[in-house]
Chain A
Amino acid sequence: MRLSSSSRQLIIISLSCLILAACNHFKAKDTNEKKSQVTGPKKKFTVKLPTDWIRKISDRKSVTASKDGSEYQLIRVSYLSHKKSFKTIKEKSNADMLPSELAELMIAKIRKSKLTRYARIIENKPASIGGKKGFRLKLSFKSPRGEKYLREVYGVTAKKGNYFIIYQAPAKRYFKQHKGDFNKTLESFRLSKKTKQF
């Protein structure tokens, strides 16, 4: 609550440390691959990430690309089991959930995160993801430094888990500029042939 600006910076640094630590834990691989096509964890999906984005990371749950290398400007595609998808809010999803119900859980998860607790939900609508019925959320929130960010979250449920595709960027500097890149990524999202869980 009562933190000076230098303390806040220190907190941001410590947050970054924790994020990096988490990546190590998951044996993250900084792929830096030139090719854009990426296969998701456990070969659950394939997706094309923008070729000129400088950083691409994959771990046990997701693949992430960042235009400038920061964790605030990114595209992340992830697969999470029903048990793990909403662990932070102590809820479990299931394969029978409607897109609107999955979106409700995602909103609760967003509210649980300190960064997005007071996020404004701008849009909550049905969407098509890899040809399947899911949801699309658009939200805005302020970073710890007070900068406005926009985030889009797409989600779709399957037999054993959920697929989420996130695009996030500072509202003024990047969001519109790289939305085209994200749209291409979204359109390229496919379930692997092995996974016939929809």
Chain B
Amino acid sequence: MHIFKVKSLFTLTSVLLTSLLFFQTSLALKSTSNFNEEYTSKLQEQALLDEAREFDKKKIKDNSIFTDKTVNQYLQSVMNKVYPEFKDKIRVRILNDPNLNALALYNGSIYFNLGLLARLDNEAQLATILAHEGAHFIHKHILHHRRKLKLESEIQVQKGAGDRAVDIAAKYLSGFSRDLERQADKYAFFRMKKAGYDIRQSPYAFKKMLAEAKANNSKQSGSFSSHPNLIERIASYNALILKHKSISGHIGKEAYLKNTQSMRIADLELNLSYARYGSLILILENKEQFVKYPAYAPYYLGEAYRQRNQQGDQTKSYLAYLDTINKVPNFAPSYRAIGIYYMKKKRYQDAKKSFIKFLALAPNHKDAAYVLQYLANIRNK
């Protein structure tokens, strides 16, 4: 997967400054004759390990890790199945991030975004991503990536092409080259097959990313700037599948659904809190995806429509709330939501009834104070 998005001026400035610092350090190292190449290489590796350790430390502290035990243990077990020789050494963690992404650090820490995890259908698809990230670690891709850029930049500096060197410096924290990504894909494919997974599942994660990019109108080039584009990657996986005669294997749909249940609603809530309404609608309007969710999931669809608020969305949200009330009559949030809809439509009696029902079902709900306020607002209407 990709590592960095150079989005803002701030990020770009940071990237340039960081890169220049790295170059200065490396030039300083070069000028000291005692440091031979091997020692420099060890220093680089140590620096990458330090960075990774610091990243781990920060992530564990800053509330960005999804901590549910069942899901975490499951992901780790799949990673161990794909790379048994690195049992528990390639450490998988889940990030509370709705973007479809995963990343690998130099110390073998793998970060899997909740958003990507929630889009997958089965264990074989999960294994594809884990195998891909594991491949970045095993093949030391970060080290290769940085060394290559450093070398390119030094050549440009020697040529006197400072601007070009700065361009290369900007790539320092961006994703891997196409070659490294292809290598990771190929190796992942090999490991998946070796672990007994159905290799036909391998392109699906990328297909989902493509659908997501379209739903959010995000340009592929932005999110996957350093990757071969998604269509090309899907094609290359398909080509790999075609080369293999025996393609069947373990899919693991039930195990996947059972072990990842708790994160699906967490992901919907995350999408709402990031205003990613299009993504949420894409998930829940898809019948194949919808069945993976609990019966009260239409409530979240309603919330996404209400907050997106495009033409026709308010009616769609109303229907989704009604649907939830029919399916799960004791799910309190639907009554708060439909109450607000009624209140806005000036159907005050319906609104009052809905708010009262909400408070009866969930008097200590985090939104109870708002509901009491709305009830007070329409008291005399």
- Could you tell me which A residues sit within 8 Å of B by CB distance? 1-7, 10-11, 14-15, 17-18, 89-91, 96, 98-101, 104-105, 107-108, 111-112, 117-120, 124-126, 133, 141-142, 146
Give the nearest-CB partner of B22 in chain A.
Answer: A7
Q: Which B residues are CB-close (under 8 A) to A1?
A: 3-4, 51, 55, 103, 105, 173
Give the nearest-CB partner of B13 in chain A.
Answer: A14
Given known pairs A2-B105, A99-B373, A120-B63, the reply for A91 and B18 (CB within 8 Å) is no
Are the CB atoms of B54 and A100 closer together than 8 Å? Answer: no
- Could you tell me which B residues sit within 8 Å of A by CB distance? 3-4, 9-10, 13-14, 17-18, 21-22, 47-48, 50-52, 54-55, 58, 61-64, 96-97, 103, 105-106, 142, 173, 272-275, 307, 340, 344, 366-367, 369-370, 373-374
Are the CB atoms of B18 and A11 closer together than 8 Å? Answer: yes
Are the CB atoms of A15 and B52 closer together than 8 Å? Answer: no
Q: Which B residues are CB-close (under 8 A) to A90?
A: 275
- What would 29 A/B residue contacts be, using CB atoms closer than 8 Å? A1-B3, A1-B105, A2-B48, A2-B105, A2-B106, A2-B142, A10-B14, A10-B18, A10-B21, A11-B18, A14-B13, A91-B275, A98-B374, A99-B373, A100-B340, A101-B307, A104-B307, A105-B275, A111-B273, A112-B274, A118-B63, A118-B64, A118-B96, A124-B367, A125-B369, A126-B370, A141-B62, A142-B61, A146-B61
Are the CB atoms of B10 and A18 closer together than 8 Å? Answer: yes
Chain A: minimal CB distance from B278 (Å): 11
Are the CB atoms of B51 and A146 closer together than 8 Å? Answer: no
How many Å lie between the Cα of A124 and that of B366 in the bound state? 7
Are the CB atoms of A126 and B10 closer together than 8 Å? Answer: no
Chain A: minimal CB distance from B60 (Å): 11
How many Å lie between the Cα of A6 and that of B47 in the bound state? 11
Chain A: minimal CB distance from B295 (Å): 24
Are the CB atoms of A2 and B52 closer together than 8 Å? Answer: yes
Q: Which B residues are CB-close (under 8 A) to A15?
A: 10, 14
How many Å lie between the Cα of A125 and that of B372 in the bound state? 11
Chain A: minimal CB distance from B380 (Å): 16
Partner of A2, one of B17, B97, B173: B173
Q: Which A residues are CB-close (under 8 A) to B4?
A: 1
Chain B: minimal CB distance from A30 (Å): 23
How many Å lie between the Cα of A2 and that of B176 in the bound state? 13
Among B18, B47, B340, the most chain A Cβ lie within 10 Å of the Cβ of: B18
Q: Which B residues are CB-close (under 8 A) to A112?
A: 274-275
How many Å lie between the Cα of A100 and that of B367 in the bound state? 9
Q: Which B residues are CB-close (under 8 A) to A108?
A: 273-275
Are the CB atoms of A99 and B14 closer together than 8 Å? Answer: no
Chain A: minimal CB distance from B223 (Å): 15
Are the CB atoms of B370 and A125 closer together than 8 Å? Answer: yes
Partner of B373, one of A11, A89, A133: A133
How many Å lie between the Cα of A70 and that of B107 in the bound state? 35
